Structure 1
Amino acid sequence: MLPAEAFDNEGFLRDLGEWSPEVAIQIALTEELTLTNPHWEVINLLREYYDLYDSSPAMRPLVKFCGLKLGADRGRSIYLMSLFPGSPAKLGSKIAGLPKPDNCL
């Protein structure tokens, strides 16, 4: 379990190298989420996207990337919102240990 100072004031990791699946669970618990296999699919895709493009995706690119990788039924914003309520790109990136997407408030 990481100490509070490992996170910024919005709960994002300060050092992306400290991320692990256990840290993802820790972050998810602060957001009152229990991670299931569908959550992990998206978390892994977020990390893959970051590795490819060196940035966290905004909502539209995330939806498109999920559609390409997981199929049209899971490449929809309504599906992502069911997993990561509010702002799926922002919340998903936070749990995946990535920086906040540029266009998220």
Structure 2
Amino acid sequence: MMEIPQRDGDGYLVDRDAWTPEIGRAMAEVDGVALDEAQWSHILKARDFYEESGVVPSIRKFAKYIDEDQKALFKMWMTGPMKPITKYGGLPKPTGCV
């Protein structure tokens, strides 16, 4: 099992620079979350958005950014999608969804 860098109480990486795709997948595995390819692509696209804009997108902005229906995202993630997307993507916690 891969060693996962230190995480905060919500499971986010304390040092975001420590993120790698392998660490993101290992974090999900430890949390009992099986990521499929579509979910993984959301994680990578959220990282792109963050790199372009310097902010974590709201679910509304993100759905528009990836041209996906917001309801479909909620259904796919079974939860507020931005939390797992940002957590396993090594991004900051989204504001507005806790």
Same fold by TM-score greater than 0.5: yes
Count matched residues: 96
User: 1:98 — aligned with what?
Assistant: 91
Matching residue's letter, 1:34: A
CA shift, 1:26, in A, is 1.8
Equivalent position SS for 2:66: helix
Matching residue's letter, 1:94: K
User: 1:71 — aligned with what?
Assistant: none
Matching residue's letter, 2:26: Q
Identity within the alignment, %: 28
CA shift, 1:81, in A, is 1.9
Q: Map residues 15-94 of structure 1 onto 2, 5 A cutoff.
A: 15-67=15-67, 75-94=68-87
Instruction: Select the structure that is richer in helix.
Output: 1
Per-residue deviation, residues 15-72 of structure 1 (Å, max 9, x unmatched): 11111111111221233221221112111100001101111111111111110xxxxx
Calculate the TM-score normalised by the size of structure 2: 0.87
CA shift, 1:92, in A, is 0.7
Q: Which runs of 5+ in 1 are unaligned?
A: 68-74
Alpha-carbon distance in 2 for matches of 1:76, 1:19: 28
Calculate the TM-score normalised by the size of structure 1: 0.82
